[in-house]
Amino acid sequence: MEFELWHIWLLIALISFIMEIFVPSFVLFNFGIGALVGSLAAGLNLSIEWQIVLFSSGTLMSFFLVRPVMKKYAYRRSGDIKTNNDALVGRQAKVTEEISNENNRGRVLLDGDNWQARSLSNEEIPAGSTVEIVQLNSIILIVKKIN
């Protein structure tokens, strides 16, 4: 079996689409669309110069027309999800060791993890109390007592 030029363009498009799965920047997808346009040009027996011009213009058009639309819909909800430090703020924890800022001690239990904790208002919080996490200072939770 002999490869024609449009086969090569189509192969480049497929490789670009597959690589886009592993590199989610939505750039390789645009090259894939450009390669599809180049494959169409080769299938119509246009010269190699025209194929390259159509590949370039197809890539640029998809980059400026398709990419912004896809980014808008693909990353629509990315700001709503709290992760890492942001996910801890506002949660409630149980005091396992009395929290005393003066003595530099205190621990809370959150989701089975035992964290160092300090009081926001410098008050002593006895063990067994329920507290709310208001901020993080490195790996130390800053908490306030819930009445």
What are the extents of the domains in the chain?
5-74, 84-145
Reference 9, options 1, 79, 17; nearest CA is 17
Measured CA distances, 68 to 26, 30, 35, 129 (Å): 10, 11, 19, 50
CATH code reported for the domain at 84-145: 2.40.50.140
| pTM score | 0.52
Give the span between the Cα atoms of 39 and 50, in whole angstroms: 11
Per-residue pLDDT of the chain (147 residues; tens, 9 = 90+): 677 899 999 999 999 999 999 987 788 999 999 999 999 999 999 999 999 999 999 999 999 998 788 777 776 665 666 666 778 888 999 999 999 988 889 999 998 889 999 998 889 999 999 999 999 888 899 999 987
**How confident is the model over 46-80, as pLDDT tens digits?**
999 999 999 999 999 999 998 788 777 776 665 66
